Homo-oligomer: A and B are copies of this chain.
Amino acid sequence: MPCYRKRDFPVAEIRRFLEPGPVVLVSSAYKGERNIMTMGWHTVMEFVPALIGCLISSGNHSYDLINRSKECVINVPTVDLARQVAGIGNCSGAEFDKFAKFKLTPQPAVEVKAPLIAECYANLECKLADASLRDKYNFFIFEVVKAHAPRAPKYPKTIHYRGDGMFMVAGPSLNLRRLFRPGML
């Protein structure tokens, strides 16, 4: 299991973790209950405030916890956790505690009651910002209010879902800074 030494990370810069499109683990809590779900459908929506739009199906046990608490944590796992990510996405938290079942460590967050997942590379504490498309599309817009990430590795080996049980593991970095205008960096 990976173990990261994390520090506060500027919320305006969390696109670094989410824009490449990794599958993430969403943790939530409400009145003594807690859960984890696997989520692949999300997008950055704004730098400041740091907004994330995402799909949380109403069929998920997490939907109720998030809907009621209006909070969650978006945790970014790496390839070391691939089996847990797939396992979490293929069972329901209505039946058991996923932290215990998948041997993941809940840690207290600062701004929300949902727990961080210690083994994930980055943890983004989120508060519900806009639910206007929730009933029509299961689409939630969250504001990231606090972020935790390690200094190293700078470019984590995240996993990206293609559907049909197939994942893509993050590959090499490509530096194209020389092609960018200064204002675009």
Contact = CB atoms under 8 A, between A and B. Distances in A.
Interface SS, A side:
mixed
Interface in A150-174: 155, 157, 159-174
A54 B46 contact: no
A169 B174 contact: yes
Contacts of A86: 176, 179-180
Contact of A168 (B41, B133, B155): B155
A100 B127 CA distance: 45
Interface residues of A, number: 57
B155 A162 contact: yes
A83 interface: yes
B21 A22 contact: yes
Contact of A185 (B53, B165, B167, B169): B165
A128 interface: no
A28 to B, nearest CB: 19
A15 B170 contact: no
Interface in A112-167: 132-133, 137, 139, 141, 155, 157, 159-167
Contact of A19 (B40, B141, B175, B181): B40
A88 B184 CA distance: 12
A55 interface: yes
Nearest to A133: B133
Contact of A167 (B22, B55, B176): B176
Given A51-B137, A132-B132, 7 more contacts: A19-B41, A79-B174, A83-B179, A86-B179, A164-B177, A166-B177, A171-B172
